[in-house]
């Protein structure tokens, strides 16, 4: 396992997964190329994010589940779109809000779910 530090937050990556910075997001993929995780972040100018803030991004939470991933809380959903299986999360801790997606071809749906969940379960704020 390797530590991926991204300023205010970080997570652990298994050796078979690689990460790179692309524009305003971190893209994480595994060697078999089944799918990829993309993480972008927002920072709150004052105060901390809470569940109510998520309504700005997810006005209708039907179809979304409350989740906890590492030290982050938030919402997640799964959907199929244009031949792709997509999982989405809005996760917050302190002044950081992460928008996380995992996508793969529909034929590969579910293959990396356990690994993706394990990676996201290691999310921590840098101050922890």
Sign of the Cα torsion 73, 9, 23, 114 reads negative
* Pair of tokens at residue 15: 């050796």
**pTM for the full model?**
0.95
Assess whether pLDDT exceeds 90 at residue 31: no
Q: What residue has token string 């997640």?
A: 76
φ and ψ of 126, to 5 deg: -60, -25
The band of 39, judged by pLDDT with boundaries at 50, 70 and 90, is very high
Cα–Cα nearest to 91, from 29, 17, 11, 1: 11
Q: What residue has token string 């928008």?
A: 99
Report percent pLDDT > 90 for the chain. Answer: 88
Report the topology of domain 2-125.
Protein Transport Mog1p; Chain A (3.40.1000)
pLDDT the model gives residue 96: 97
pLDDT the model gives residue 75: 98
């Amino acid at each position: 396992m390797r530590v991926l530090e991204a300023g205010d937050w970080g997570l652990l990556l298994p050796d078979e997964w690689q990460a790179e910075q692309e524009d305003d997001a971190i893209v994480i993929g595994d060697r078999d190329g089944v799918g990829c995780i993309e993480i972008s972040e927002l920072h709150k100018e004052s105060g901390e994010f809470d569940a109510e803030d998520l309504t700005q991004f997810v006005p209708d939470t039907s179809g979304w589940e409350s989740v906890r991933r590492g030290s982050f809380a938030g919402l997640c959903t799964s959907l199929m779109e244009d031949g792709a299986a997509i999982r989405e999360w809005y996760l917050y801790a302190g002044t950081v809000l992460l928008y996380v997606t995992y996508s793969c071809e529909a034929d590969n749906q579910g293959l990396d779910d356990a690994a993706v969940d394990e990676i996201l379960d290691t999310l921590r704020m840098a101050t922890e």
